[in-house]
Structure formats: structure tokens, C-alpha cells
Amino acid sequence: MSFDIAVTRRVGDGEIACRIAPADGLTVLFGPSGAGKTSVLNMVAGLLRPDAGHVRVGGETLFDAAAGVDLAVPARRAGYVFQEPRLFPHLRVSANLAYGARGERTGPLAPEEVVEFLGIGHLLDRWPRTLSGGEARRVAIGRALLSDPAFLLLDEPLSFLDRARREEIMAVIERLRDTVRLPILMVTHDRGEAERLASHIVEM
């Protein structure tokens, strides 16, 4: 399964344009802040509508301006990990994960397997405010995996982390790429991250 994306959208006096040819593995959108990378993720997720083009994942058309196709956000089944973990502060880690696991599941990992895979079993009774940056990112990735996604969108998942936590999350992303094998579209402005993690790099 892979991404096949060609989208454009007017923003102010400029235009965001992105073309991603089908490629397996982990695709990285690489470029400086303000290049429109996060906007492309939002177009894939259905949170932002392109002016023209198409979005296909694994051969399924999520958006096609010419054909009038624009699937609703839930129907796209995107597992989205934002720059900020966005955990519910009033829910413990276990409840945050359970929120992601609502509904029928067909995904590659059961809830207990996600917890083991990410090494977060010891965090289940904790409140989000007590987590380190790396722990919160792992929980956010777990919630995304438990939403039964067809693909993952990672927006600067290593930002605002110290070196040790960055290494921790990079190792998690490598395992997702190599073991879970869901299509992953990731945004970064760090070339070292892109070169280490990407199967395919698209510069913006």
C-alpha cells in the first residue's frame, strides 16, 4: 500500500502544491517551516480541501476534484499524530487509548499488542500531565494505531524532544515502518530524520 497524491491549494497570494508518486514504506515530506507540509497532511486527512488534484492511499480514492470524490474524515481512516500529543487531560492513559479503540477493529494490532509494542504498559494509570514528552508521543501513537487506521500521518513527531527522547521515538517509528507496515506519511524539517526514517523523500 502506498500514497498517490497530487494536490494544489491557494493560500493567500501563494499556492501549496505537492506530488507524491506511489512508493511503499515511509514517505517523508521534507522542507522548511511554512512550506505547506502540514497542510498536505490535512488535505490527506480530509481536514483541508484541495482546490485541485487527487488523494489515493492503497489504491482507494479519498479525494478527486475532477471526479467529485471527497470522502468524509471518518471514512478515510487516517491515524493522525499531531505535533502536540493532544491527549485528553481529564483521562488517564488507559482511557486515552480506549478512546482510540472504539468501534469495530480490523487493524494489525490488538490493544494489548499496541501497549506491548510501544512499551507503555507501565503508563496506563498515569495522567497525561505526568508524562514526559517521549511518553506522551508514544501514547499518542498508540491511540492513533488503535483507531483502526488504514494509514498513519505523523506531523513533526520528534519536535520539542530532547536527544534521548528523539532517539526513543525514532526507534518506535522504525518499528512501525518495518513491522506494522502501514503506509506512513511523515512531516519533518530535519534532514537527518528524513534520511534515517524515509523510504521515500519528497522535498517541498
Q: What is the pLDDT of residues 76-85, one digit of tens each?
A: 999 999 988 8
Domain ranges (residues) in the chain: 24-35+72-203
**How would you list the strands of the sheet with 184-188, edge to edge?**
78-81, 151-155, 184-188, 26-30, 200-203
pTM reported for the whole predicted model? 0.91
Query: Helix or strand or coil: residue 202?
Result: strand
- Percent of the chain clearing pLDDT 90 (strictly above): 70
Q: Are 118 and 97 in contact (CB under 8 A)?
A: no
The pairs formed by 189-192 with CB atoms below 8 angstroms and a separation of 24 or more are: 189/30, 189/31, 189/32, 189/33, 189/37, 189/156, 190/158, 191/30
Residues 55, 75: Cα–Cα separation, whole Å:
13
Count the neighbouring beta carbons within 10 Å of the beta carbon of residue 150.
18
What is the model's pLDDT at position 13?
81
C-alpha of 188 from chain center: 12
Instruction: Give the position of cell 487509548.
Output: 97
15 burial via Cβ count (<10 Å: 0-12, 13-18, 19+): exposed
Name the fold adopted by 24-35+72-203: Rossmann fold (3.40.50)
More confident residue, 45 or 181: 45
pLDDT at 103 over 70: no
Q: 122-174: per-residue pLDDT in tens?
A: 999 999 999 999 999 999 999 999 988 999 999 999 988 888 889 999 999 99
